[in-house]
Chains A and B, each alone.
Chain A
Amino acid sequence: MKADRLHALAEAYGADLRRWPASERVFAESLIAADPSLKTVLAQAAALDALLDASAAPTPSADLTARLLAAAPKAKTRRYHLDRIALFLGAGWAAAACAGVVAGVGLTTHVTADERADAVLYQSTLVEVDDTEVLG
């Protein structure tokens, strides 16, 4: 690491090496150890860090905390699970009923068609009988 890079890192991340890229901390420390005059670079950055730290972080209000806790996910109760089972069974019965209706309608159509065909066949047979009777 060159001294220029040390300047650049202090300029970007400040004086606290814990904020520096992990890969460059050791090199920075060795560079400063070799040239103690570079400590002034960190001292300059530390002055601005101290000012930044004067900005107080807000404290969440008790009201906000209470609102959030009231809205937090609730554990599923035994009643919830029974309701889910009832819902599942109800849905099963409803599906079976629907299937019955569909099958019934389909079967009715099929049976009706067969009966009509039989009736037509029967009538045509009768016509043939009548023709025989008429024609001799």
Chain B
Amino acid sequence: MVAIVDPDEDLVRRVGQGDPAAAQTLVSRKLPRILALAQRMLGDAAEAEDVAQETLLKAWRQASKWTPGQAKFDTWLHRVALNLCYDRLRRRREIPTETPPDRPDDGPAPDRGLLAAETGARVDGALKRLPDRQREALVLCHYQELTNIEAAALMSISVEALESLLSRGRRALRLALADLAPGMKPGMTKGVGR
């Protein structure tokens, strides 16, 4: 078995020994990353903060027991955060809310011009409307910049299945956001999306 090279190994060891500088570094390195993951998975700032906090608290408990070489600490953090996100998404499905179902995006017309923040909000809305697994694949590969192998392992699927989820997700986003980039063809490619 090939040993896993983990760039966070030394940092985690020092956190486990109670080094406050290491804890500070780990928080500044991982908290924004995990918060962004949770925010994009859940589309809710308060819930994302809860998930990020819970994930890092689990990291504190795990640090002194961490066994290097078995997995990357970053991947473990992602797994913990994703599990917490899925718990919340499941709860949402079990407890229907008064919120009306999401509708196709009817945001401002392109000729009015959009501020970057408005474009971001449109993209966030379109991401939120994707099926959970397509969103997860896109978030892991595009935003979290995990390799296809890491993302597929986290999602417990094959790389081929991951590529299919990514293709379908991107196609749905192109359709939803077509008015923001007129040159972008909704049906861009051929021979994909198994």
- Give the B-binding residues of A (Cβ under 8 A): 4, 7-14, 19, 21-22, 41, 44-45, 47-52, 54-61, 64-65, 67-69, 71-76
Q: CB distance A54 to B119 under 8 Å? A: yes
User: Among the interface residues A22, A44, A50, which one has the most CB atoms of the partner chain B within 10 A?
Assistant: A44
Contacts of A45 in B (CB 8 A): 170, 188
CA–CA, A55 to B48, complex, Å? Answer: 15
- The 8 listed contacts between A and B (C-beta, < 8 Å) are A8-B163, A8-B167, A44-B184, A59-B32, A60-B49, A64-B52, A64-B53, A69-B23
Contacts of B163 in A (CB 8 A): 8-9, 12-13
User: Among the interface residues A21, A58, A59, A65, which one has the most CB atoms of the partner chain B within 10 A?
Assistant: A58
| Additional pairs, 13, CB under 8 Å, beyond known A11-B170, A11-B171, A72-B15 | A7-B192, A8-B167, A11-B166, A11-B167, A13-B166, A48-B181, A51-B173, A51-B181, A54-B120, A55-B127, A58-B36, A65-B27, A68-B60
> Contacts A52-B142, A56-B117 hold; do A68 and B56 have CB atoms under 8 A apart?
yes
Q: Main SS of chain B's interface residues?
A: helix
CA–CA, A11 to B172, complex, Å? Answer: 11
Contacts of A44 in B (CB 8 A): 184-185, 188-189
How many B residues face the partner with a CB closer than 8 A? 63
> Contacts A7-B191, A58-B48 hold; do A47 and B23 have CB atoms under 8 A apart?
no
Contacts of B159 in A (CB 8 A): 21
Q: CB distance A55 to B147 under 8 Å? A: no
Q: CB distance B173 to A48 under 8 Å? A: yes
* B157 CB-CB contact with A under 8 Å: no
Residues 135-167 of chain B: 1 if any A CB is under 8 Å from the residue's CB, otherwise 0? 000100111010111000000000100111011
Q: CB distance A57 to B123 under 8 Å? A: no
User: Among the interface residues B123, B166, B174, B189, which one has the most CB atoms of the partner chain A within 10 A?
Assistant: B189
- Give the A-binding residues of B (Cβ under 8 A): 15-20, 23-24, 27, 31-32, 35-36, 39-40, 45, 48-49, 52-53, 56-57, 60, 63-64, 116-117, 119-120, 122-124, 127, 138, 141-143, 145, 147-149, 159, 162-164, 166-167, 170-171, 173-174, 177, 180-181, 183-185, 188-193
Contacts of A76 in B (CB 8 A): 18
Q: CB distance A73 to B167 under 8 Å? A: no
CA–CA, A78 to B122, complex, Å? Answer: 56
Q: CB distance B148 to A21 under 8 Å? A: yes
CA–CA, A69 to B164, complex, Å? Answer: 40
CA–CA, A75 to B22, complex, Å? Answer: 11
Contacts of B17 in A (CB 8 A): 73, 75
